[in-house]
Amino acid sequence: MVTQSQKWKLSSAQKLFVCRLLAEFKSDREIMEALDKEYGVKVDISNIQWYRNRKNYANLVNKIREEYLGGLLNVPIAQKRIRLERLEQKYHGADKIEELEKRMDYQLRCLERAREEVEGPKRGKNRGW
């Protein structure tokens, strides 16, 4: 447990941790909880806001944010092909549903989602799972 006098002094690793979470658009409360969970450090929201508002940390946060957002293609679900393959797996997996009406409904929803993935959503329809 960190004492009152230590709570204002974060290590370099902890400062980088805060900057990384700021770059990932985490809220002040989420950052507070993450610091406590990861390092056992309890801070006030004002401590997090201090880092958020410092220009000398802004460059680091922006650099980390660029890397973070640039990694979008590393998230499989962000790739259309992966999403279509998973929909196809669900479509074929529906063969295990014994009740014909439920199986057909599920497969039709898979086909509709795949069509939306390729062509875009139909206007005027609010379809969900």
Task: Please report the pLDDT score of residue 3 as a whole number.
Answer: 43
Task: Please report the pLDDT score of residue 119 as a whole number.
Answer: 92
Task: Please report the pLDDT score of residue 78 as a whole number.
Answer: 82
Mean pLDDT across the chain: 87
Task: Please report the pLDDT score of residue 6 as a whole number.
Answer: 44
Which amino acid does the sequence have at 69? L
Task: Please report the pLDDT score of residue 79 as a whole number.
Answer: 85
pLDDT of residue 5 exceeding 50: no
Q: Read off the tokens for 77.
A: 């679900």
- Written as one string, the DSSP assignment of the chain is ---TTTTT---HHHHHHHHHHHHTT--HHHHHHHHHHHH-----HHHHHHHHT-HHHHHHHHHHHHHHHHGGGGSGGGSHHHHHHHHHHHHHHGGG--SHHHHHHHHHHHHHHHHHHHH-PPTT-----
- With cut-offs at 50, 70 and 90, classify the pLDDT of residue 74: confident
